Amino acid sequence: MLRPVTDALSLASGAGVARPAASSARPDDPDADLVRRIGKGDDLAIRALTARKLPRLTALAARILGDPAEAEDVAQESLIRAWRQAPVWRFGEARFDTWLHRVAVNLCRDRLRRRRPGDAADLDALVDPGPAPDRGLEARDVGDRVAAAMATLPPRQREALVLCHYQDLGNIEAAQVLGVSIEALESLLSRGRRALRAALSDLVP
């Protein structure tokens, strides 16, 4: 049986998860300095981490939940937990960004579980309304199609794709966030991409 990627993110779960293997520990955490300073009450570091993480967390939650208002709530709650975590963060066991993604994904899962059948995503609000200089109306239409296709994926496949493609997490980090093995992550990604390719077959050569 394949074991999930073990990590420092689940040490307190009481599920008997082992400490991370040396190969998966990430002492080279690019957020470490900011987290250390936040732990000491540095307001500038709080602002810097907010600028760095808020867009990422909002986009993550928007793509998983399909609801921009809920996505904002998830991003806000995730960062509030970051403020509480910073003073007690154990450096070297996991990347802070990976932990933050795990918090946000779990908050998204809680919200998805509470949803009633028929709650639909507001796809119009999900897509950036202003076309970038190199994008026209057609690009926005295609973006709508992609959003709609992603919304039809099973939640785990959607999470895997969002983490690896949009959030640019490595396979080890994404597997840690989802609490699955690398093999399971790859399977989720492959199945998700196959389903998207089928749903968007008129747009993919």
Partner 1 sequence: MTAGRAPLEAGRFRALAEAYGGDISRWPEAERASAEAWLARNPREGAAELEAARALDDLLETWRTPEPAEALRNRVLIPAPAQVRQARRRAFVLTLGGGAGLAAACLAGILVAPVLLSTPTAGPAPSPSSQIEETAPSAALIPSDEVLAEVLADWEPPLADAEADIGV
Q: Cβ of residue 156: shortest distance to partner 1, in angstroms? A: 14
Q: Cβ of residue 10: shortest distance to partner 1, in angstroms? A: 5
Give the residue with the Cβ less far from partner 1, 13 or 116. Answer: 13
139 binds partner 1 (CB under 8 A): yes
CB 160 within 8 A of CB 192: yes
182 binds partner 1 (CB under 8 A): yes
Give the residue with the Cβ less far from partner 1, 116 or 134. Answer: 134
Instruction: Please give the structure tokens belonging to residue 163.
Output: 């983490």
For partner 1, which residue of 63, 65, 173, 180 counts as binding (CB under 8 A)? 63
Residues between 28 and 47 with contacts to partner 1, criterion CB under 8 A:
38-41, 43, 46-47
Residues between 82 and 121 with contacts to partner 1, criterion CB under 8 A:
83-90, 99, 102-103, 106-107, 109-110
Q: Which contacts qualify for 146-152: CB closer than 8 Å, 24 or more apart? A: 146/196, 146/200, 147/63, 147/66, 147/121, 147/123, 148/123, 149/195, 149/196, 149/199, 149/200, 150/63, 150/66, 150/196, 151/66, 151/121, 151/123, 152/195, 152/199
193 binds partner 1 (CB under 8 A): yes
